[in-house]
A and B are shown apart, each in its own frame.
Chain A
Amino acid sequence: MLYRSHVMVCGGTGCTSSGSDNVAAAFVSEIKKAGLDKEVAVIRTGCFGLCELGPVVVIYPEGVFYSKMKPEYVPEIVEEHLLKGRPVTKYLFGETVSEKEIKPLEETTFYKKQMRVALRNCGIIDPEDIEEAIAMGAYEALGKVLTTMTPEQVIDEMKKSGLRGRGGGGFPTGLKWEFAHKQKETPKYVVCNADEGDPGAFMDRSIMEGDPHSVLEGMAIAGYAIGANHGVIYVRAEYPLAVKRLQIAIKQAREYGLLGGNIFGTDFSFDVEIRFGAGAFVCGEETALLNSVMGRRGEPRPRPPYPAVKGLWNKPTIINNVETFANVPAIISNGAAWFSSIGTEKSKGTKVFALTGKVNRTGLIEVPMGTTLRDIIFDIGGGIPDGKRFKAVQIGGPSGGCIPEEHLDTVIDYDSLISLGAMMGSGGLVVMDEDTCMVNVAKFFLEFIVDESCGKCAPCRIGTKRMLEILDKITSGKGEPEDIDRLEKLATTIKDTALCGLGQTAPNAVLSTLRYFRNEYEAHINQKKCPAGVCQALLSYTIIADKCRGCGLCARNCPVNAISGQLKQPFVINQEACIKCGTCFEKCPFGAIVKQ
């Protein structure tokens, strides 16, 4: 059926949690009430990216962008926009509205510098309807590969494209496929790593939720290239929406003959099954992932042998992450030359990032490799809220590192980030402002690592714990000057000797903050001060006598009776008794209490 208008309601995780289900329901019922249900379709899409402004709704054919939608706005939009053809500008995303015109989304600063390859269909199609995906070109690349290319040609095309693994390591995808292709052992397997576990990351989740067919198609192409008929998607059970949409996509693809036996009438067969992860971060490491799929304890095993030689059930296996697979059909359809024209010399194409933290527009973005961090944070992200100063951006998840202001103009690619002591990782970007204590940040990420270490190798199991204990000591004011040396010594050994990627990158948060913010560590240790005023144990609250009016509010609210004084006289805090809870600081109406 054809409709004159489409109401696209974001069904990504961000907008779903900000209430897009109710918005969509309101549209359905209001449209029905207005008798427009034969003319206007309501579609739940994948993530648009601007999660900060959610729930978001885009209405086509105009392509206008409603932000922060509420069900109570819906009757007016149906009445005005859908019935009378007048977009309701007060609900539109402000940046798109000017006196003369309503700008399309692509021209907003958030989208202007983006380039959507992996996310090409997210926010555009109904991810639960294969026909919408097909209308956007899904499975064309698979058809092309199966009917006009040899596996060698596919691998060659992938190698020429310069695509590198988007899961963190950045290993050239074509090369990986070639290794597996050359193996004589059968059966072979294609595994999709959808165990996205970095705090704050939701790139892969958004792709699976917004365009699951791109992943299935990429896997099938990989299967053809290496000679595998069986694919496994290892996805976290904590991603129920992604799981549901993958399941629907697999079912529909089978019904359409795009998965299963004799795809496109060729003798190539390929099917995909889903395996659930229980949420262990380490299972994102490829060999631990394989163990988990095989029903064993999720622990890495030594490499070599690499999975391309001995992988799932000890058979040749390629493991690529969701975003990598999502890029594959685009490369096949548009050609390696097109893809390799995007990006930098050694990092081709685009990269999806989850932009979070102290930044105005948090959300999901995709930019060409080679974009600068400044462009991402200040143009796309709209800068730092509340006029605060930028301090650092943490990139690459717990294994990544913190990059300070002086390197904001670095172009993003795999190698530049490594040289800065960070890594691409799977694409988490956490922006931090001046109120952030970098020692505390290092501690936060290390806590995550200590929690998630599998416990197999000694340096990661014990070493990261010892590092965390030292950081605890430093942030609680008990640091000694030798602690920095100890941290560095441990970090070096863990990096050098841990068994897997998780362990080898575990010290990065500490190493990069030591590299760029060593003075903060020294302030904690030598002056017993936390420059950002975050570490409770290092703070002291004092009353400035000149500013104190002697109202006594502070003393009345102090839970430990540490403040004394006479009314109308300056009050005093007994530092010995003070538990640094900050209540007085918050209660003082005259700003007479300072935290240092």
Chain B
Amino acid sequence: MDKVTVTIDGITLEVPSNYTVLQACREAGIDIPTLCYAEVINEIGSCRLCVVEIDGVRNLPASCIYPVQHGMNIRTNTPRVREARRVNLELILSNHDRNCLTCIRNTKCELQDLAERFGIADIEFQGEDVNYPLDDVSPAIVRNPNKCVLCRRCIAECQEVQNVFAIGAVNRGFDTLVSSPFYVSLNDSPCISCGQCITACPTGALYEKDHIQRVYRALADKRKHVVVQTAPAVRVGLGEEFGMPVGSIVTGKMVAALRRLGFEVVFDTDFAADLTIMEEGSELIERLKYGGKLPMITSCSPGWINFCEKYYPDFMENLSTCKSPHMMLGALIKTYYAEKMGWNPEDVYVVSVMPCTAKKVEIERPENMHDGIQDVDAVLTTRELARMIKEAGIDFVNLPDEEFDQPLGMSTGAAVIFGATGGVMEAALRTVSEIVEGKPLDKIDFEEVRGLEGVREATVTVDGLDLKLAIVNGTGNAKKLLDKIRSGEVEYHFIEIMGCPGGCITGGGQPIHHPNEMAEVRKLRAAAIYQADKNLPLRKSHENPAIKQIYEEYLGHPLGEKSHHLLHTQYTSKPLYRVTR
């Protein structure tokens, strides 16, 4: 890349010619304030907080979208710039519900940070502020328009990244509002509940539907046996909520914290991930052998399932019939484990701690109920669990490591990598290869399916058959791939699709970071996931002794009748809009 020379507040430096003024300023060590800016996905220049003075430019351009030019003289801290930024910030604040104390993002809010940074003591421009009702109909996501600053980062995530188009800007001028078309609730919109909008939001305008209170109620209920399970990605995210570095693996502390919160049994969703591999792997082998529908597509990600049912129902037959792992475990806890313990299933309360908001919807699917009892009763996001731990005053960072309860807490490295994009594929390959070829793998790591690119392809030879594979993360990328499959441009045997960019490690329920940091966050959390895999003695699902035990004791064999009943599900095409009369 060519370099250009620019002068910023008297400092002359060389920067790549494709830089924006903002990038150049940050390189010069000047942290220009921004609010709407999200690298690549939302470069729209709408908040006007990053304005600077540039010689020869009449007004104050937004540095986030203004390209550098050779010889440019930029000033970032003049009275004119300071006044303009302050006035714009005060204007945004003047139309914002400023009840910070009762806001879910209190102390974790970009707008609050800016107000603090600018030392806002008084808001000079008072006037009408918007007052819209809360949209809390969706089982997963709550939208509070009165906290919205119209930065549109959520829209960028929903439209540009995820291609879901559940929300956009409606009305105009002062009445502009982020909403679904025709003001329908998110619940009746094309929303897939992936929650990426939540992680993009700088304020408290978007957050998960609270399940903390129902969990507290269950914990306080003497008759209930409250069993908790945790998804693989939670253990590489939770520590961040307590100031630990991104990518810290906190499995043992998490288990200890859950026990201290009063959960009677702490199981690991990873067990069910191993089980998923047994079922899904067998399903793949069957489809390959007997000419079943190909490519087979994974079904662990409820965000992706929602997307498929709404936008690509013609691919529903391609979906593996396996339930997602935590739903499998929920079903087993209320049957196999309850029987074992002599508990009445009605007295068992299953809580899943998930990096995901779509799971909150998933537990309400009629397919995930048996005899009128939900397999899982509550889903806490990683963030919600952190809130509970904080409220309880548990010193998380200094907790001792504890182990999961058995037998449904035993798992392998193949299960933990479910948390990263490519993990389900790799776990499946480890098992399918060994089963089909009947001999141990030479190499456990399938590096060719790892990575963070949105769409990846690989070919793996299993018993002489070249398996054509694709790994996709983010529904926007899924759309690209599925369109190519539809048009016959590409063909595969097996595809892993995760609804969120990066997979579960950066799901909609994980600790929030600025969108610009997400690439790095993904990398670190993924590295942690693969490290956790390496740390485990067993790394292939079919070697998990607890899995062997449950097939012997209860399920019989993969794809057997019990499995079919408890571990598999079906899909229904869903309209983009639910019209109510």
Contact = CB atoms under 8 A, between A and B. Distances in A.
Interface of A: 280, 282, 297, 299, 301-302, 304, 450-459, 461-466, 469, 486, 489-490, 492-493, 495-499, 504
Contacts of A492: 83-84
B48 A469 contact: no
A498 B175 contact: no
Contacts of A453: 172-174
Nearest to A456: B46
B65 A302 contact: yes
B150 A496 contact: no
24 contacts: A297-B168, A302-B62, A304-B66, A304-B67, A450-B173, A451-B173, A453-B172, A455-B150, A455-B169, A455-B171, A455-B175, A455-B176, A456-B44, A456-B176, A458-B48, A459-B88, A463-B87, A466-B94, A489-B87, A492-B84, A496-B59, A497-B51, A499-B46, A499-B48
Contacts of B169: 297, 299, 455-456
A496 B174 contact: no
Interface of B: 43-49, 51, 59-60, 62, 65-67, 80, 83-84, 87-88, 91-92, 94-95, 124-125, 127-128, 149-150, 168-169, 171-176
Contacts, number: 113
A458 B47 contact: yes
Contacts of A302: 43-45, 62, 65-66
Contacts of B51: 496-497
B370 to A, nearest CB: 46
Contacts of A498: 48, 59
A469 B94 CA distance: 13
Contacts of B91: 458-459, 462-463, 466
Q: Which 10 A-B pairs have the closest CB atoms?
A: A455-B176, A453-B173, A493-B87, A462-B91, A302-B65, A469-B127, A466-B125, A497-B48, A465-B174, A496-B60
Nearest to B91: A462
B171 A499 contact: no
Contacts of A465: 127-128, 173-174
Contacts of A459: 48, 87-88, 91
Interface of B: prevailing SS: loop
Given A458-B46, A462-B95, A497 B88 contact: yes
Contact of B173 (A297, A455, A466, A486): A455
B84 A493 contact: yes
Contacts of B88: 458-459, 463, 493, 497
B59 A462 contact: no
A496 B83 CA distance: 10
Nearest to A298: B172
Contacts of A493: 83-84, 87-88
Contacts of A450: 173-174
Contacts of B67: 304
A497 B51 CA distance: 7
A482 to B, nearest CB: 9
B87 A490 contact: yes
Contacts of B175: 455
A145 B171 CA distance: 46
Contacts of A304: 66-67
A455 B172 contact: yes
Given A465-B174, A466-B125, A490-B87, 11 more contacts: A280-B172, A450-B173, A453-B174, A458-B150, A463-B88, A466-B94, A489-B83, A493-B88, A497-B62, A498-B59, A504-B59
A12 to B, nearest CB: 31
Contacts of B60: 496-497
Given A302-B65, A450-B174, A451-B173, A457 B83 contact: no
Contacts of A457: 45-48
Nearest to B125: A466
A454 B176 CA distance: 8
Nearest to A460: B173
Interface centre among B47, B66, B67 (most CB of A within 10 A): B47
Contact of A497 (B65, B66, B84): B84
Contacts of B62: 302, 497, 499
A451 B171 CA distance: 10
Contacts of A452: 172-173
Contacts of B44: 301-302, 456
A461 B96 CA distance: 13
A459 B174 CA distance: 10
Contacts of B171: 455
Contacts of B84: 492-493, 496-497
Nearest to B93: A462
Contacts of A458: 46-49, 88, 91-92, 149-150
Nearest to A503: B48
Contact of B176 (A280, A461, A486, A497): A461
A493 B83 CA distance: 8
